[in-house]
Every structure is written in C-alpha cells, then in structure tokens.
Amino acid sequence: MEPPRRQPTLDEVALLAGVSRSAASRAVNNGPNVSRAKRDAVMKAVRDLGYVPNATARALATSHAGAVVLAVANDDPALFVDPFYAQIILGVAAELDRADLDLTLMLAASAQGRDRLKRTLRSRRSDGFLVIAPGGDDWLGAVAHMTDLPVVFCGRPLGAEPTWYVDADNRGGGRLAAEHLIALGRRRIAMIAGPMDLQSTVDRHRGFTDAMAVAGLDSSRIATADFTPHGGALAMARLLERHPDLDAVFAGSDNMAAGALGALRAAGRSVPDDVAVVGFDDLTIAAQTEPDLTTIHQPIQALGQEMAKMMVRLIAGERPSPLIVPTHLVVRSSAPPPLR
C-alpha cells in the first residue's frame, strides 16, 4: 500500500505564487487587501498543488482586517517634512506593503484624534497598533494598554518597558559622542539635550555622563532644547554665557547641532578649532551644515522597517523579542580626528 500523500502547506502555496504567506492566506480565504494579480497567482498555485485550506486557519484569516494603525501624538503640519518621522513612516509602509497589509496613519494629538483612534481600536478595523514612543503625559502609552491588539513601540515610553519595541542604542550613541570628543583632547565638554520627558533623551544623556565619568570630567554643562535648530541655537547661547571656556558640545540631535553651529558662529567661535561639535541622527542636514557635522548615525528607516516586521510576526501568532538597533559615529569636519 502506498503511504498517504502529504498535504501541501500554505507556505508552499505562497512560495509558488511568489507572494507573502499573509497575502496567500487572505487570497485563499477571500480576505481583503489582495490585488487581482496576486489573488490569481495564489489560486493557480492552489490548483497546481492541490492545496486544501484548513478550516480553523480559514476562520482566523478571515477575521483579520488586513491593516495596521501607526499612531503619532502630533498634528503639527511640520510632522510630514520632519526627516525623522518621514523615514519612520517610509520604513513602516515599505515593510507592511511586502506583507500586503495596509497602513493607517492616525494623528492623535487632539481630542477628536484620540476619540477616532479609540473607535478604530475598539472596532477591530486594525490587526495591530504601532506607536512612536510619546513623551509628556504618555497618552498613547496608556491607550496601548487599553487594547488587546498587538502593540509595537518605536522607542520606549519614559520609565516603561513595553513588551514589544524597536529602539536605537541611544545610550551607546551618547557614549560614543563623548568618547570621540574626549579622544580629541577636549576637556570642557557641554551637552545640548532634547526634552527630558523622552526616554531617548535620557538615554543619550546617560551615555554622555557615562563617558565623562570614566574620563574623570565634569558632565554638568547641560542645556535642554526642543530638537529644532532654533532651540539648539538658544541652548548654545545659554551654554556660552554660563561656560565661556567650553571647548566642545554634543547636541542630542542634528537639528539642534545645526542651530548650535549658527550660535557659535555668531559668537565668533571657530568650529572645530575653538569648539568641536557632534550631533545625533545623521540626517541629510548633517552633510549640509558649515562645517559639515560629525554625528551619531541611527538607522531611522530601519527602525520603521523592524517595528513593522515585528508587527507582522505578532499578527502571525509569533512572540518576537524586543530589538535594540546599533548606532555608530560618522566623522566629519565639525569634530575631525587629529592630524597625525
């Protein structure tokens, strides 16, 4: 007697059709958000392989909405030209597109936006909830605890450790920035920190103070700003007033560093001869300042991609681990290595 023929799997259908497993599942189960071309390819693979859908899997697949919400606690029009948010959204959108999931962007700064987000989560019109880590009163973090949908954070809320998140190594990046300035022989180093109600700011500051402590240097030259060039310029002016002998500054974002460069120029300080400057992010602006900016690179678009990948795995029933993405130093003219 011949052994029973093994039943083909949905993974084999997806592979033959050249689509993702989630797209194959939705096509087989007549779910939403599958293009005609992909649906036709999947159904041809089903016929060629003799695939028979599992009844339980069918019920699960058809209960999916085929969409993921990305919520941002901001409704400023400048959001859409901010390189950080733009790259996060691009990374998320590209990865969800590969999984044939729709992206719903929701601005939840106003009361109306918050109510709309709550209704969307309650109505199950989404398979998951992506959150760019908030600061302040952490309203989005509270909403995340109100839903039984999978939730993935980009960054971490201040003082919290969510189950699933993707974050840059902000503490390691802050340490690298200070270590580079110390290696250049700078000893009176200041920091322009971002808003201190953000975990990323706290971590970058901790990295800075870690390196300064190891070197036996004073880390109390601190001013805070709001991640904008204007804020960085104001903070730099305050630091120069309080510490006119400072010889280096680490700014917690490239935008703030760009503002600091302008303030130093206005004060008659030469960069890097009088004051060396290091930023954080490695945005496009870092290569456009005068002089161009030594900075800490964080892979912003990859953060969006990785949080979307984590969400796809959660929707598929997996339990991925949180992810910390490495940062590294990019040396340019504002804090160049010493001549040998």
Question: Where do the domains of the chain lie?
Answer: 10-62, 67-168+300-324, 170-297
pLDDT of amino acid 137: 53
Is the domain spanning 67-168+300-324 CATH 1.10.760.10? The answer is no
| Domain 10-62 top-level CATH class | mainly alpha
pLDDT of amino acid 76: 65
pLDDT of amino acid 134: 62
pLDDT of amino acid 77: 63
pLDDT of amino acid 63: 60
For the stretch 36-55, pLDDT in tens is 888 889 889 988 888 876 54
pLDDT of amino acid 31: 66
Contact (CB, 8 A) for 264 and 277: yes
Which carries the bigger pLDDT value, residue 243 or residue 46?
Answer: 243
Contact (CB, 8 A) for 281 and 295: yes
- Summarize the confidence of residues 168-179 as an average pLDDT: 98
Banded model confidence at residue 61, pLDDT cuts 50, 70, 90: low
DSSP 179-223: HHHHHTT--SEEEEE--TTSHHHHHHHHHHHHHHHHTT-----EE
Per the rule left: phi > 0, alpha: psi between -120 and 50, beta: everything else, 282 is left
Contact (CB, 8 A) for 198 and 133: yes
Write down the pTM of the prediction. Answer: 0.79
Task: Say what percent of the chain tops pLDDT 90.
Answer: 54
d(CA 162, CA 271): 41
Domains 67-168+300-324 and 170-297 share a fold: yes
- Summarize the confidence of residues 53-60 as an average pLDDT: 50
Task: Say what percent of the chain tops pLDDT 70.
Answer: 86
Looking at CATH, the fold of the domain delimited by 170-297 is given as Rossmann fold (3.40.50)
For the stretch 113-157, pLDDT in tens is 777 877 877 776 788 989 887 665 566 766 767 778 899 999 887
